[in-house]
Structure 1
Amino acid sequence: MTAVPAPPFHDGSSVPQLGYGVWQVEDDVAADVVRQAIDAGYRHIDTAAGYQNEGGVGRAVKAADVPREDLFITTKLANEDQGFDSAKAALDASLEKLDTDYVDLYLIHWASPQRGKYLESWKALIELQQEGKAKSIGVSNFPIPQLEEIIAETGVVPVMHQIELHPQFQQSELRRYHAEKGILTEAWSPLGQGGDILKDPVITAIAEAHGVDAGQVIIAWHLAIGNVVIPKTVTPERIVSNLAAAQLVLTDEEVERIDGLDRADGRIGADPANPGF
């Protein structure tokens, strides 16, 4: 089984650095592919209420021949459920769908600043952690001002910030902020979207040098710079090959070459400062 590093959170827990994401995976499909991922050796599964596949993830976890305590499950608070009482009720609903008593990590999915509810939602997550329903708590898609506000108002620093991050959009300023605060960075859409970056000559040359595929090179780059990474695929061969990327060690020079692919216009998802939803 592929050994995956498990960097520590500042709250004393830890997270498998390479996980399996299920964004845009239908519920019934999730039940199958998450079971495949667990059988392949993944121990970190990332879902969200908004993905509408928590039930499938829960069925896969129950069917897998792995104790629940050996798995790390993340889910996320949907935008429409933000608010103190509604956030607490939302996690209860997620736990029922996942068929588990707790999640290892609960995230606010988007700051959604225009709603004005991210602070009370964060206060709810703090209480949920105290109640043992979430072992660790963090956020996703938060601009720095909103991060600073929830920390200043509560004194509680998220253990993780999940953000869009790939070689063409590296978020260096935000990653430096995370490092200063002791927040781990987690990358969503780590391979970009549409496959363009997989054809980049820098990536393909490194892949050829190591005898691996381009996706494995990008995952190895994320791991090398300290990101937690959750690639999504429903292809059985990719499920296995993505996990095998944990064994790939890039040279410092190769990492620097990939660092050079960053672009000012590289964002492909919504801007967290004004997501429009």
Structure 2
Amino acid sequence: MASLASTPALVAPMAFKNHPETKIPKMVYGTAWKKDRSTDLVYQAIKSGFRAIDTAAQPRHYNEKGVAEGIAKAISEGILTREDLYIQTKFTPPSGQDPNNLPYDLSHPIPQQIQTSIASSLSNFTFPGQEEPYIDCLVLHSPYRNIEDTLLAWRTFEPYVPSKIRSLGISNTTLPILQSLVSSTNIPPSVCQNRFYPDTRYEVPLRSCCREQGIIFQSFWTLTGNPGLVKSKPVMEMAERLRGKREVDGDDRALALYSLVLGLEGVSVLNGTTNQERMMRDLLTLEAVGELVQGEWKELWDGWLRDFKVVIGEK
């Protein structure tokens, strides 16, 4: 991978507005639904070049402990240090949990549920030789049914920042809830993680708010949720050009789609591939694309990105 100083803008890590010392890579490895494979896949992802990992304290869909074990293995082998890695986990409210497998006691009030969950996550992400465990970003996995409980949960998060938790985020949210978190809390979100697909109209107004507030929008379901978008004119045209480049090797349409989504300002993408060859290929190819769009593809790229914005309804 290229050094940070020489990394093309398309794939360069982004600093959080409220926490500039925290930087998030454009491509984040997603660990949902990997179960017993989590340890090995996270280790392989790190070995392939991923430097950001997304997980959750939600045994229903994630194996947070297994994710941490994969990270620990990579650290123990000297592949990277804890400081080289962006780790993001989530607190999941009861509505998103398996009632038979919870990281906290349902009978406890919301603040105590959160404190128990965070303590468990910090314990998982304690690595040998590390003085104090910390999490780069804690995400509220989904809002509560009412804004009062959502704000209560957020205010329970805040005292952990910046020592135990560097920054905060929200997932599966609406624009009004995001605006409430921005206006009604002491520590506003640094991250908003939502689906990028037709049913949400690609979150155009919400992403506009994120740009205005300096919030990083994390796109998920980017590939699997967009079979139609993969066939759109700008994606197909870019994919055709990719096929003609020897240094580019992979799923041309997927890589073109990832590139165009990353070309939207202030966006990172979750990539949950379980194919070890594709892990490295995706990262290296996106870096090559980043160099191309700053050089010989500059005019083509401007046209593709303009057309892509039209397709997703972003003026």
TM-score range, shorter chain: 0.7 to 0.9
Change in 2 beyond 3 A, CA 1:224/1:201? closer
**1:189 aligns to what?**
221
Question: 2:29 and 2:181 mapped to 1: Cα distance?
Answer: 28
**1:48 aligns to what?**
56
C-alpha contact 2:12 2:26 (8 A) present in aligned 1: yes
Question: 1:254 and 1:30 mapped to 2: Cα distance?
Answer: 36
**1:86 aligns to what?**
113
TM-score, with length taken from structure 1: 0.86
C-alpha contact 2:197 2:226 (8 A) present in aligned 1: no
Opposite residue 110 of structure 1, the aligned amino acid is S
Question: 1:44 and 1:202 mapped to 2: Cα distance?
Answer: 28
Q: How many Å apart are 1:175 and its aligned residue?
A: 1.0
Q: How many Å apart are 1:18 and its aligned residue?
A: 1.4
Query: Which runs of 5 or more residues in structure 2 are unaligned?
Result: 95-103, 128-132, 294-300
Per-residue deviation, residues 144-184 of structure 1 (Å, max 9, x unmatched): 22223233332321111111115884211111111222211
Q: How many Å apart are 1:127 and its aligned residue?
A: 1.0
C-alpha contact 2:234 2:305 (8 A) present in aligned 1: no
- Alignment of structure 1 residues 51-130 onto 2, 5 Å: 51-64=61-74, 65-80=79-94, 83-100=110-127, 101-114=133-146, 116-130=148-162
Question: 1:74 and 1:144 mapped to 2: Cα distance?
Answer: 22
C-alpha contact 2:91 2:141 (8 A) present in aligned 1: yes
- Alignment of structure 1 residues 1-277 onto 2, 5 Å: 1-2=1-2, 3=7, 4-10=11-17, 11-12=19-20, 13-26=22-35, 28-50=36-58, 51-64=61-74, 65-80=79-94, 83-100=110-127, 101-114=133-146, 116-130=148-162, 132-166=163-197, 169-193=201-225, 195-200=227-232, 202-211=234-243, 212=248, 213-226=252-265, 227-244=267-284, 245-249=286-290, 250=293, 251-262=301-312
Question: What CA RMSD, in Å, does the superposition of the two structures yield over aligned residues?
Answer: 2.4
**1:271 aligns to what?**
none
Question: 1:144 and 1:243 mapped to 2: Cα distance?
Answer: 31
Q: How many Å apart are 1:31 and its aligned residue?
A: 0.8
Aligned length, in residue pairs: 262
TM-score, with length taken from structure 2: 0.76
C-alpha contact 1:57 1:98 (8 A) present in aligned 2: no
SS in 2 for 1:230: strand
Query: Which runs of 5 or more residues in structure 1 are unaligned?
Result: 265-277
C-alpha contact 2:28 2:53 (8 A) present in aligned 1: yes
Question: 1:47 and 1:246 mapped to 2: Cα distance?
Answer: 24
Change in 2 beyond 3 A, CA 1:232/1:196? farther
**2:100 aligns to what?**
none
C-alpha contact 1:223 1:246 (8 A) present in aligned 2: no
Question: 2:144 and 2:221 mapped to 1: Cα distance?
Answer: 19
Opposite residue 223 of structure 2, the aligned amino acid is L
Q: How many Å apart are 1:115 and its aligned residue?
A: 8.1
Change in 2 beyond 3 A, CA 1:23/1:261? farther
Q: How many Å apart are 1:196 and its aligned residue?
A: 4.8
Identity %: 26
Per-residue deviation, residues 219-244 of structure 1 (Å, max 9, x unmatched): 11122113111111101122122212
Q: How many Å apart are 1:193 and its aligned residue?
A: 2.9
Question: 2:194 and 2:226 mapped to 1: Cα distance?
Answer: 18
